[in-house]
């Protein structure tokens, strides 16, 4: 696949003597939606966070488009502008209104004009169904609403890739759908997405590929239909029995 927009080669990462990643290689094509599943502690977050260098790999290489993320000379801030990230705990800025949460980075990172950034922020809010919340503060919103704002905030930088680290795990069940719907829309529009999640409905509806990780390694991967119906590895089978 020469259309790969993310290329990960033999990524290894240790925290002291904990080996979070033990040689992961993975390519994600432009427009592809890849779901990463695996037990807690298997290295899923570490893998995602290495892509925008919130974690520094111990060894191995990662490219986003044609830029090496892992090179010491990488212009990491420019790369991060291209890579949006959505966290399990939302991490909205509590001292800023919803609108400012979304428009701050475009203004101070990309030097957009304030008016332009606010116009786009309003459009994004409409897209995630929260037009009426522009002036609210994050702690006045439900978890599902906060996560939709967080997605809008990431999209405001007009990224080419979106990383989602368990975006619905901290949500009450009745709020999961509103977030997944936003993600589904994004997937349909052709966004490249790398999603850590165990939402099987989302996997079946949107994922092109599912990657199963365990103990810092990719155990197997394949289209959701195949992987869920007929996993090749015993570890995958056992894990799927737990979550399906």
Ligand X SMILES: Nc1ncnc2c1ncn2[C@@H]1O[C@H](COP(=O)(O)OP(=O)(O)O)[C@@H](O)[C@H]1O
By CB under 6 A, name the binding residues for ligand X. Answer: 15, 18, 20, 38, 40-46
Residue 108 interacts, among Mg ion, ligand X, other proteins, none and using kind-specific CB cut-offs from 5 to 8 Å, with other proteins
Choose between 80 and 118: whose C-beta lies nearer to other proteins.
80
Minimum distance, C-beta of residue 18 to ligand X, in the bound complex (Å): 5
Choose between 31 and 39: whose C-beta lies nearer to ligand X.
39
Contact status: 243 vs other proteins (CB under 8 A): no
Among the listed residues 33, 32, 36, 39, the one whose alpha carbon sits nearest the alpha carbon of residue 24: 36
Residue 20 interacts, among Mg ion, other proteins, ligand X, none and using kind-specific CB cut-offs from 5 to 8 Å, with ligand X
Choose between 18 and 115: whose C-beta lies nearer to ligand X.
18
Determine contact, residues 21/47, Cβ cutoff 8 Å.
Answer: yes
Contacting residue, 42, 45, 46, 52, with other proteins by CB under 8 A: 52
Contact status: 83 vs other proteins (CB under 8 A): yes
Minimum distance, C-beta of residue 15 to ligand X, in the bound complex (Å): 3
Contacting residue, 8, 34, 99, 157, with other proteins by CB under 8 A: 157
Q: How far is it, in rounded angstroms, from Cα 87 to Cα 91? A: 7
Determine contact, residues 40/239, Cβ cutoff 8 Å.
Answer: no
Sequence-distant (≥ 6) Cβ neighbours of residue 202 within 8 angstroms = 35, 180, 183, 184, 195
Contact status: 78 vs other proteins (CB under 8 A): yes
Residues in the chain: 244
Among the listed residues 72, 73, 51, the one whose alpha carbon sits nearest the alpha carbon of residue 4: 51
Among the listed residues 207, 208, 211, 197, the one whose alpha carbon sits nearest the alpha carbon of residue 243: 197
Residue 38 interacts, among ligand X, other proteins, Mg ion, none and using kind-specific CB cut-offs from 5 to 8 Å, with ligand X
Rg (CA), the chain: 18
Minimum distance, C-beta of residue 235 to other proteins, in the bound complex (Å): 30
Residue 91 interacts, among Mg ion, other proteins, ligand X, none and using kind-specific CB cut-offs from 5 to 8 Å, with other proteins
Q: How far is it, in rounded angstroms, from Cα 168 to Cα 160? A: 22
């Amino acid at each position: 696949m020469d259309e790969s927009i993310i290329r990960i080669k033999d990524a290894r990462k240790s925290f002291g003597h904990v080996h979070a990643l033990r040689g992961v290689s993975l390519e994600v094509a432009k427009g592809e939606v890849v779901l990463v599943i695996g037990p807690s502690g298997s290295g899923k977050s570490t893998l995602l966070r290495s892509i925008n260098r919130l974690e520094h790999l111990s060894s191995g290489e990662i490219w986003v488009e044609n830029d090496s993320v892992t090179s010491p000379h990488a212009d990491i801030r420019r790369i991060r502008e291209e890579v949006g990230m959505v966290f399990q705990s939302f991490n909205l800025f509590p001292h800023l209104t919803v609108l400012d949460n979304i428009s701050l980075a475009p203004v101070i990172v990309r030097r957009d004009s304030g008016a332009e950034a606010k116009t786009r922020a309003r459009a994004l809010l409409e897209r995630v169904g929260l037009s009426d919340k522009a002036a609210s503060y994050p702690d006045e919103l439900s978890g599902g609403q906060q996560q939709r704002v967080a997605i809008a905030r990431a999209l405001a930088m007009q990224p080419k890739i979106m990383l989602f680290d368990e975006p619905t795990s901290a949500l009450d069940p009745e709020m999961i759908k509103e977030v997944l719907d936003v993600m589904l829309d994004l997937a349909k529009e052709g966004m490249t997405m790398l999603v850590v999640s165990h939402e099987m409905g989302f996997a079946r509806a949107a994922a092109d590929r599912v990657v199963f990780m365990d103990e810092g390694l990719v155990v197997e991967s394949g289209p959701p239909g195949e992987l869920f119906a007929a996993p090749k590895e015993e570890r995958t089978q056992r894990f799927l029995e737990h979550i399906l």
